[in-house]
Structure 1
Amino acid sequence: MKRLKARYGCPVELALEFVGGKWKAVILAWLKESPHRYAELRARLPGVSDKVLTEKLKDLELLGLVEKAAINGSGSAVVYRLTERGEGLRPVLDALYAWGGALGPELSVIIGPGDSPTKKPAGEPAG
């Protein structure tokens, strides 16, 4: 597990140590819906580089939120999925999704791929 500070000033500070930054929470939101192969996550996160995605997945593994699991007993084909600790984030991720979804229209911001702003994108994480 990633080395944590011995003391935090607030529980939110500790929580953000785990999910802070743009990409960790988005990766967790997709994994909340179902396990994904690396290539599937890569396709769902077009704004992230391979280097950053790999780095963030490793961070999430070290924090005990995500694990790799073999597909059908195969050692070479793996998916990333939430651990029990990661599953504990489900209500937090649901709340962030709902809050962001409500905030988008209020700020006249389009959420989703650029090709179809009025249609819900296929495979979009459910709230």
Structure 2
Amino acid sequence: MIPTGLPHTDHADLSRVIEALGMLTPRWNVQILTTISVRPLRYTEIKARMPWLQDGQLHPKLRWLVHAGLVERTEHGPRNVAYGLSPRGTELIPVLTVIAAWGSTHLEKPTPLQSGVRGAQSATAVQDIEDSLVLIAYRHATPILWSLQSRGVSSATAVAADAMPGHGLSAVYPRLRQLVEDRLVDTDGEEADYRLGPPGLALAPVYRALSAWAVGRPLAEAATHPVWGQPPAQFQPADGVWASAPDLPAAAPAKVPPALQTTPSAQWRHGDLFSHQHQIPARTPVAASAGGHRR
């Protein structure tokens, strides 16, 4: 478990969420999970949907996901092996839907969504998930966001005591600066207090869903989370306020596709979001803000 200065119950919950993020953040893990989310596929079928991955990259990824308990490997005969989601992997898909919804609303969009093209929607959703995870899985990012949600407006000293005990106070400032740059945290200056920005407050459904999944609880019960249980005020990006894009010109809010209009308690069905009737292309790199942390 990571060291924090949070109360024991919050610390245990946060540690489980960080462990869940650790399962998702390795590159291509989300892509693989969504590729096999509709039905189990043979290795060659997965490879055909992810042609940019070499055998030396895909095989280790599949083995890791099987070991993590998210994917099941079934042998039907010699050279006939299928990979499908385990029960725990299946329960994770609605969580990915929540993350995709946050990304669709709050992340910088390099190109307009190709509405009406299911394959394009799926590819965009996966990219939104991966880009969202980059922001919150960055070192100490989630503990800091957790502390600010718990405390409200806080000093850097208080945040450091919660999220980075054992580190000097100077160590927390680069993390806070990055979160401010990513628009997840607001401040009036480095010597002033810190608070969650609107996109940071809107992460509540994401953390509630991750927490519920980590302990095997239904997402319908996620709203009772002790830290993130209060729903944030509705926020629509305006005047160019996008997570991780501080210098963009004003842009209209992106519309959330129907497949993404969901809540943590919504019932997920196969094919609602991740349909692979169309090949998903490799991600188009997203321009990062200066000093940002992209893959």
In structure 1, the partner of 2:22 is 17
Q: Residues 75 and 20 from structure 1, CA distance in 2 versus in 1: closer, same or farther, beyond 3 angstroms?
A: same
Q: 1:8 aligns with which of 2, 7, 17?
A: 2
Q: 1:95 aligns with which of 79, 93, 98?
A: 98
In structure 2, the partner of 1:86 is 89
Q: Supply the distance in 2 between the matched residues of 1:44 and 1:24 (Cα, whole angstroms).
A: 14
In structure 2, the partner of 1:107 is 109
Q: Supply the distance in 1 between the matched residues of 2:112 and 2:57 (Cα, whole angstroms).
A: 24
Alignment of 1:38-117 (within 5 A): 38-71=43-76, 74-100=77-103, 107-109=109-111
| Residue pair 1:33, 1:126 contacting (<8 A) in 2 also | no
Q: Supply the distance in 2 between the matched residues of 1:97 and 1:85 (Cα, whole angstroms).
A: 19
Q: CA deviation at 1:40?
A: 1.1
Gaps of 5+ in 2: 4-13, 123-270, 274-295
Q: Residues 48 and 97 from structure 1, CA distance in 2 versus in 1: closer, same or farther, beyond 3 angstroms?
A: farther
Q: CA deviation at 1:109?
A: 2.8
In structure 1, the partner of 2:119 is 121
Identity rate, percent: 32
Q: Residues 90 and 38 from structure 1, CA distance in 2 versus in 1: closer, same or farther, beyond 3 angstroms?
A: same
| Residue pair 1:66, 1:81 contacting (<8 A) in 2 also | yes
| Residue pair 1:66, 1:82 contacting (<8 A) in 2 also | yes
Q: Which has the larger radius of gyration?
A: 2
Q: Supply the distance in 1 between the matched residues of 2:103 and 2:39 (Cα, whole angstroms).
A: 20
User: TM-score, normalized by length of structure 1?
Assistant: 0.70
Describe the SS at the equivalent of 2:62: helix
Q: How many residues matched?
A: 112
| Residue pair 1:8, 1:14 contacting (<8 A) in 2 also | no
Describe the SS at the equivalent of 1:32: coil
Describe the SS at the equivalent of 2:73: strand
Letter aligned with residue 121 of structure 1: G
Q: Supply the distance in 2 between the matched residues of 1:92 and 1:36 (Cα, whole angstroms).
A: 22
- Cα deviations across residues 76-120 of structure 1 (Å, max 9, x unaligned)? 31110111221220211223444555678x613367xxxxx6744
Describe the SS at the equivalent of 1:79: strand
Q: Residues 78 and 100 from structure 1, CA distance in 2 versus in 1: closer, same or farther, beyond 3 angstroms?
A: farther
Letter aligned with residue 39 of structure 1: T
Q: CA deviation at 1:45?
A: 1.2
Describe the SS at the equivalent of 2:72: strand
Q: CA deviation at 1:52?
A: 1.2
Gaps of 5+ in 1: 1-6, 112-116
Q: Supply the distance in 2 between the matched residues of 1:23 and 1:92 (Cα, whole angstroms).
A: 17
User: TM-score, normalized by length of structure 2?
Assistant: 0.33
